[in-house]
Amino acid sequence: MTTFKEIRGTAIQVVSSDPSNPETGQIWYNSSSGTLKGYKTVNAFSSGGNLSTARAQLGGAGTQTAALATGGFSTAVTNITELYNGTSWTSSGNLGTPTRIMGSAGTQTAAVIFGGYPEINRTEKFNGSTWTSSGTLNTARILAGAGTQTAALGFGGYTTVFTAATEAYNGTSWTSVTSMNTARETVAGAGTQTSALGFGGGTPTASAATELWNGTSWTSNPTGLGTARAGLAGVGTQTSALAFGGQIPSVTAATEEWNSVAVQTITVS
């Protein structure tokens, strides 16, 4: 049988206290506690700088070190915009109209938000400091978004009824394209204008339905979310996405990973 020394090139160390700076894969025996211990690196969330204004139902865009947060609901619907540099948030130009539950896409310096609650059709673009109006949705609603500032996709949502409407944005105007197969509100999205993913939502009961967009039409995937839910969030691409949070109807922390074939549960709480 292969020994640990043959694998690692060293025997298991016996120490009276845990090493202060262990390496990944290192194993040792703590003689004080009488335990065999090992060290591995794991991915985890850690605290960052808090938003200046606490709020929910807001729009976001960008990356981990260059993010944008705008709109949402605190004690009232707000138009506040903040920018994140990987450490802290700073205030920037306000939205033209206070908005929540809207679609959003793009980067910190080239973002776009559209629709929202109460059901509106307005679109605004951000240049890194100010927002300007740019085009209107054909169907005013709350909805999901994907893509970039000049090539965005808005889909699903709620007007006075649940809708499957899908629209494409070219940076100036919206064009109605093929609708989703399942009409639903608070659906989540990921991907680009020509290769998107839509999943979950309310119909009004929580849905597990997952659909793929190829730039022309939606295809229902035979395997949906492991946990049917509405009001969830999504990030990533059509072939590598993440679904997290939502309601089923109780609030959930469930997180699922999409591998382009099926959505697999990796964390459920």
Candidate from 95-99, 175-179, 210-214, 235-239 with smallest mean pLDDT: 235-239
Is beta strand 111-114 parallel, antiparallel or unpaired with respect to 122-126? antiparallel
pLDDT digits (tens, 9 = 90+) for 158-171: 988 999 999 999 99
pLDDT digits (tens, 9 = 90+) for 68-112: 888 888 889 999 999 998 888 999 999 999 998 899 999 899 999
In angstroms, how far is CA 261 from the centroid of its own chain?
Answer: 19
pLDDT of 61: 85
- E strand spans, 93-224: 103-106, 111-114, 122-126, 131-136, 142-147, 152-158, 166-169, 174-177, 188-191, 196-199, 210-213, 218-220
Q: What's the pTM value of the predicted model, to 2 decimals?
A: 0.75
pLDDT above 60 (res 56): yes
Cα distances from 154 to residues 149, 163, 178, 188, 196, in angstroms, run: 12, 12, 11, 11, 10
Q: Please tell me the distance from the alpha carbon of residue 253 to that of residue 258, in angstroms, as a whole number.
A: 16
Q: Please tell me the distance from the alpha carbon of residue 241 to that of residue 200, in angstroms, as a whole number.
A: 13
Q: Please tell me the distance from the alpha carbon of residue 122 to that of residue 116, in angstroms, as a whole number.
A: 8
Cα distances from 86 to residues 49, 73, 111, 120, 242, in angstroms, run: 8, 23, 18, 32, 21
Candidate from 2-6, 68-72, 140-144 with smallest mean pLDDT: 2-6
* Mean predicted confidence (pLDDT) in 103-122: 91
Residue 136's pLDDT band, with cuts at 50, 70 and 90, is very high
pLDDT digits (tens, 9 = 90+) for 180-192: 999 999 898 888 9
